[in-house]
Structure 1
Amino acid sequence: MIAIKTTEIEKTAAASVSLPLTDVKIWGRTGAGRSWLGSLVASLPLVLAPLTCASVFITLRAYSGSFSLFAAAVAEEGFWPVYQQHGPQLTAKGAVAVVCYVGLQALLFRFLPGELRTGQYTPAGHLLTYRMNGLSAWTITHLLYFALSWAGVLDPAFIARNWSGLIAAMNIAGLAVSVFAFVKAYVSPTHPDDRKFSGSSVYDFFMGIELNPRLGEMFDLKLFSNGRPGMILWTLINFSNLAYQHQTLGHVEPSLALVTVLQVMYVVDFFVNESWYLGTIDIAHDHYGFYLGWGCFCFLPIMYTVQAQYLGMHPPAAPASYTYLAVVFAAGLVGYAMFRSVNDQKSKARLLGHGCCIWGKPAQYIVAPYRTTDGRAHKSLLLCSGWWGWSRHANYVGDLLLSYSFCALVRSTNAVVWTYAVWMTLCLVHRCMRDEKRLSVKYGAAWTEYCQRVPWRFVPGVW
Structure 2
Amino acid sequence: MANYITQTEFDKVIHQEAYSNKNVNNKKYNEIDEKVDSEIVFEFGGPWGVTAIMLGFPTLMYYMWGCLYFYRGQLVSPFNVEFWQLVAEGAAPTWYSTKIYVSFCLFELFLAFNMPGPIVKGAPVPCLKGKQLDYLCNGVTSWYATLILSYIVHKLGWFRLPDLIDQFGHLMTAAIISGFTITIVIYMHTILQGNQHRMSGNFFYDLFMGAVLHPRIGKVDLKMFAEIRIPWVLLFYISVSAAIKEYELFGYLSPSMGFMILAHFLYVNACMKGEECIPTTWDMIYEKFGFMLIFWNFAGVPFTYCYSTLYLHFASIDNGAPLQHSLPWTIFCYTLLLTGYYIWDTANSQKNRFRMSVNGSHIPRNTFPQLPWGTLKNPTYIRTKHGNLLLTGGWWGIARKAHYTADLMMAFAWGFITGFETAITYFYPVFFVIVLIHRVRRDLERCSKKYGKDWEEYCRRVPYIFIPGLI
Category of TM-score, reference length = shorter chain:
0.7 to 0.9
Q: Percent identity?
A: 25
C-alpha contact (below 8 Å) 1:328/1:405 kept by paired residues: yes
Q: Deviations over 1:97-136 (max 9, x none)?
A: 1221111111101111110011111221231110111121
Give, in whole Å, the separation in 1 of the partners of 2:273 and 2:56. 33
Shift of 1:408: 0.6
Give, in whole Å, the separation in 1 of the partners of 2:330 and 2:458. 40
SS of alignment partner, residue 278 of structure 1: helix
Q: Deviations over 1:277-329 (max 9, x none)?
A: 22222222211100111110000111111111211222285642122101211
Shift of 1:450: 1.0
Q: Partner amino acid for 2:88?
A: Q
C-alpha contact (below 8 Å) 1:27/1:438 kept by paired residues: no
Shift of 1:10: 5.6
C-alpha contact (below 8 Å) 1:102/1:229 kept by paired residues: yes
C-alpha contact (below 8 Å) 1:17/1:369 kept by paired residues: no
Give, in whole Å, the separation in 2 of the partners of 1:142 and 1:284. 30
Counterparts of 1:17-416 in structure 2, within 5 Å, are: 17-19=23-25, 21=27, 25=32, 26=34, 28=36, 31-32=39-40, 34=42, 38-67=46-75, 70-71=76-77, 74-77=78-81, 80-81=84-85, 83-86=87-90, 88-124=91-127, 125-188=130-193, 195-216=197-218, 218-315=219-316, 317=319, 319-350=324-355, 362-370=378-386, 379-416=387-424
Give, in whole Å, the separation in 2 of the partners of 1:314 and 1:163. 16
SS of alignment partner, residue 120 of structure 1: coil
C-alpha contact (below 8 Å) 1:114/1:132 kept by paired residues: yes
C-alpha contact (below 8 Å) 2:15/2:357 kept by paired residues: no
Gap change, CA 1:361 and 1:7, over 3 Å in 2? closer
SS of alignment partner, residue 202 of structure 1: helix
C-alpha contact (below 8 Å) 2:346/2:374 kept by paired residues: no
C-alpha contact (below 8 Å) 1:9/1:380 kept by paired residues: no
TM-score, normalising length: structure 1: 0.87
* Unpaired runs of at least 5, structure 1: 1-5, 371-378
Give, in whole Å, the separation in 2 of the partners of 1:341 and 1:260. 21
Give, in whole Å, the separation in 1 of the partners of 2:270 and 2:404. 15
Gap change, CA 1:151 and 1:80, over 3 Å in 2? closer
Give, in whole Å, the separation in 1 of the partners of 2:81 and 2:305. 29
Q: Partner amino acid for 1:114?
A: G
Give, in whole Å, the separation in 2 of the partners of 1:103 and 1:186. 25
TM-score, normalising length: structure 2: 0.86
Hey, what does 1:459 align to over in structure 2? 467
Q: Partner amino acid for 1:253?
A: S
SS of alignment partner, residue 135 of structure 2: strand
Q: Partner amino acid for 1:268?
A: N
Q: Partner amino acid for 1:170?
A: A
SS of alignment partner, residue 344 of structure 2: helix
Give, in whole Å, the separation in 1 of the partners of 2:101 and 2:441. 35
SS of alignment partner, residue 201 of structure 2: coil
Alignment RMSD, CA only? 2.7
Give, in whole Å, the separation in 2 of the partners of 1:7 and 1:304. 41
* Unpaired runs of at least 5, structure 2: 1-10, 363-372
Shift of 1:440: 2.1
C-alpha contact (below 8 Å) 1:189/1:213 kept by paired residues: no
Q: Partner amino acid for 1:106?
A: L
Give, in whole Å, the separation in 2 of the partners of 1:50 and 1:412. 25
Give, in whole Å, the separation in 1 of the partners of 2:105 and 2:124. 29
Shift of 1:8: 6.2
Give, in whole Å, the separation in 1 of the partners of 2:37 and 2:410. 29
SS of alignment partner, residue 119 of structure 2: strand
C-alpha contact (below 8 Å) 2:44/2:50 kept by paired residues: no
Gap change, CA 1:8 and 1:273, over 3 Å in 2? farther
